[in-house]
Structure 1
Amino acid sequence: MGRVHFIGGEKGGVGKSLTARVLAQYFIDNATPFMGFDADESHGTFSRFYKDFSAPLRVDDYDSLDNIVTLAETHPDHDLIIDLAAQTASRLGQWLKESDVFGIFTAMGHQVFLWHVMDDGADAMSLLDKTLESYPQQAIQFIVVQNMGRGENFDIFEKSPIFQKAQQRNAYCMTLGKLHPKLVQKVDFNDLSFWAAANNRDLMNTPERQRLRVWLDNTYAQLDHFLKHDSPQDE
């Protein structure tokens, strides 16, 4: 059964592309076949780091969006990663609704994951609430990513009615740990995949490489928790 991962959050700068990149590296390291789409026309961050696995996506073009379904049909054993740009939910939602895309994926036997990447701000919470209201289908699996690189305290969120609503929808909540800023800069400015950075002895010293490996291991452990099961509800 194939899986389709829409990685969004609507708000800019919360770490959507970072999440897409670490998910791509997870699939590579686990020998899981996948393909990606990069909807960020201004930055193209995902395609810059994983260009061999990525194609551009125009959210304002139905022909471009239809390629997601076409690839799912022609490569049913592949996971698909769709790295969404900020403020694209309305256009994407229109395509999903008009084309009954979730119905298509259900008929194909594909599982759909909607990832909401967030910082610890109030606007990220309200955007999650809007997303939960927009997609009531039970066939969709929500993943809420609390990015510690963009927020240090998610206590208010975890005590909020919005968090309870996400739990009622059986959302899986994971934490994306914070990488040391200097290490992030080295990875980004040198256009390195996470694997390349973790194994580059010329650019990274031993503690830096180890910090990156620890970060990946901690993230992978959380991804294992739901991606190596059919869904969190099955546990």
Structure 2
Amino acid sequence: MEKTFHLVLQAKGGIGKSLTASIIAQYYSHRAVSVTAVDCDPSTPTFSTIPGLKAIPLQIMEEDDINPRCFDQMIETIVEAEAGERIICDIGTSAYVPFTSYLIQNVALPFLQDSGTRVLIHSPICGGPAFQSTLDGLGELISQFETAQFVIWENEFFGPVGREGKSFSESKFFQTYKDRIFELLLHPRVQQATFGADIRAMMEQSLTFEAAIQSPDFKIMSRQRLRQIWKSHVTQLDQSRLSAALVAEEAAE
């Protein structure tokens, strides 16, 4: 079985990268797949604060600077992982430039692919004012990492993802790069006073969906809303190519 490196990457902050990484890790754990989670966000390490994910905080700071040599540890973790493992890494905004520079200078992603690892870069793009900047960031990643495939997460928190009445999948950008896009997934827009507040509370308390749904700290209807959101994520992932890869691996065993 092939191991897979899921790299959550975007230059812009505040667009749902840590939530995306958390959902990926929770989904594979829910499906009883072995997961190694790595948090590479020295300024706001959200991913590794969630006990249920057991994410390893990658220590990349030396005094006040990022030491790119510390990224070697992540690559070694991936190379040494067992077949079938899913390695999920959340790259924070403060680590974005040094990390992407490290990957390019060390030809790290082709090296991992040659060693038998599938590489999927998960990149959120946002609706509203952040649409163009996140689209530009995605385009930069696609150009920089020519051998990688991409999972695009449309984040509708600030509005529909697209412009001039066209969805992202109808855009010229999507048509240009569709051969590089492995899957298109969605963070759907929700009612912020209810569903949105519950998601924020869950993240602030460093809980997984399943832990929050069982927590007495959340009232009955908050748990019900979180149950709906989690079910929708599991359903879309079950229907995605990420799940299809799992089915193919199970059939090959």
Q: Does 1:221 align with 2:235?
A: yes
The counterpart of 2:146, out of the listed 101, 118, 136, is 136
User: Are 1:146 and 2:178 matched, yes or no?
Assistant: no
Who is 1:2 aligned against? 3
1:30 equivalent to 2:31? Answer yes
Please name the residue that 1:185 is paired with: 200
- Answering whether residue 50 of structure 2 is matched by residue 46 of structure 1, we say no
Greater CA drift, 27-36 or 202-211? 202-211
Q: How far is the alpha carbon of 1:163 from its aligned partner?
A: 2.1
Matching residue of 1:61: 67
Consecutive unaligned residues in structure 2, runs of 5 or more: 247-253
Structure 2 match to 1:124: 134
1:52 Cα deviation from its structure 2 partner: 5.7
1:206 aligned to 217, 220, 224, which one?
220
| Structure 1 residue 3, shift from structure 2 partner | 0.5
If the length of structure 2 is used for normalisation, what is the TM-score?
0.81
| Residue 196 (structure 1) aligns with | 211
For the residue of structure 2 that corresponds to 1:188, the secondary structure is helix
CA drift at 1:211: 1.6
Checking the alignment, whether the CA contact within 8 Å between 1:10 and 1:88 is kept in structure 2 is no
Give the 3-state SS of the residue equivalent to 1:9 in structure 2.
coil
Superimposed CA distance per residue, residues 25-64 of structure 1 (whole angstroms, 9 cap, x where no aligned partner):
1122111111111121111101111476222232843332
Shift, 1:2, TM fit: 0.6
Which 10-residue stretch deviates more, 102-111 or 58-67? 58-67
Q: Distance in 1 between matches of 2:201 and 2:5?
A: 30
2:172 to 156, 161, 164: 161
1:82 to 79, 89, 95: 89
Query: What displacement does 1:102 show?
Result: 2.0
Provide the residue aligned with 2:181 in structure 1: 170
Q: Which AA in structure 2 matches 1:81?
A: I
- Residue number among 102, 105, 116 corresponding to 1:109 in the alignment: 116
Matches of 2:51 and 2:24 in 1, distance apart?
11
Secondary structure of residue in 1 paired with 2:82: coil
1:73 paired with 2:84, answer no
1:165/1:50 CA distance change after superposition, 3 Å: farther
Task: Determine helix, strand or coil for the equivalent of 2:159.
Answer: coil
Going from structure 1 to structure 2, the CA distance change for 1:221 and 1:166 (only over 3 Å counts) comes to farther
DSSP-derived class of the 1:126 partner: helix
Alignment of 1:90-109 (within 5 A): 90-109=97-116
How high is the TM-score relative to the length of structure 1?
0.87
Write the distance in 2 (CA, Å) between the matches of 1:131 and 1:87: 16
- Displacement after TM superposition at 1:142 (Å): 0.3
Aligned residues: 227
- Structure 1: distance between partners of 2:27 and 2:225: 17
Residue aligned with 2:119, SS:
strand
Question: C-alpha offsets along residues 146-197 of structure 1, whole Å, 9 cap, x if unaligned?
Answer: 1122x22113262432222231323411111245122123213332222110
Equivalent-residue separation in structure 2 for 1:11 and 1:184 (angstroms): 21
